[in-house]
Amino acid sequence: MKYEETIEALRVIAQKNDKLTDVEKEFVKDICTEFGIKFEPKSTRCKSCYQDAALQCYNEATKRAASEGAKDSERSYVLRPGVDVFFGSVRVNAATLTDELSEKIIARGFDKKFFLKCK
């Protein structure tokens, strides 16, 4: 299953108002194992335990998908997912970032830890 499909399935599980099916619960357990996330539900009937684990897996899957996207990107600079900050009077996020802007703000002291990919 590709990350996009996994992300969507986890989002649905995390937002579900109804009782989770056995298939959904097993899916969450499998993804937790795959991502190395420790998961031991208090009870097999505890919906919120599974939804909390699904959210953890969702966050991990989005990070991994972004990392893969950064490797494949032709751009020299790619921000980490969710970065949206002001540096001085410049708003820095995925929508505003260009390679030229990246070079300018790094030269002015912007921390490279905000980047997945940094030339």
Global pTM reads: 0.62
31 or 17: which carries more pLDDT confidence? Answer: 31
pLDDT score for 109: 96
Residues 82 and 37 both lie in one domain: no
Average pLDDT over residues 30-46: 88
Query: Is 52 in the same domain as 28?
Result: yes
Q: Are residues 114 and 82 in the same domain?
A: yes
- The pLDDT tens digits of the residues spanning 71-97 come to 666 888 988 888 899 999 999 988 889
Q: Print the domain residue range for 32.
A: 3-72
Q: What is the pLDDT of residue 24?
A: 94
Identify whether residues 91 and 68 lie together within a single domain: no
CA 26 to chain centre: 21
In a 3-state reduction of DSSP, which class is residue 90?
strand
Average pLDDT over residues 53-69: 85
Residues 8 and 52 in one domain: yes
Contact call for residues 100 and 119 (beta carbons, < 8 A): no
Do 68 and 92 sit in the same domain of this protein? no
d(CA 118, CA 106): 10
The band of 27, judged by pLDDT with boundaries at 50, 70 and 90, is very high
Tell me, yes or no, whether 7 and 64 share the same domain.
yes
Number of domains observed in the structure of the chain? 2
The DSSP result for 59-110, as a single string, is: HHHHHHHHHHHHHH-SSSEEEPTT-EEEETTEEEETTT--HHHHHHHHHTT-
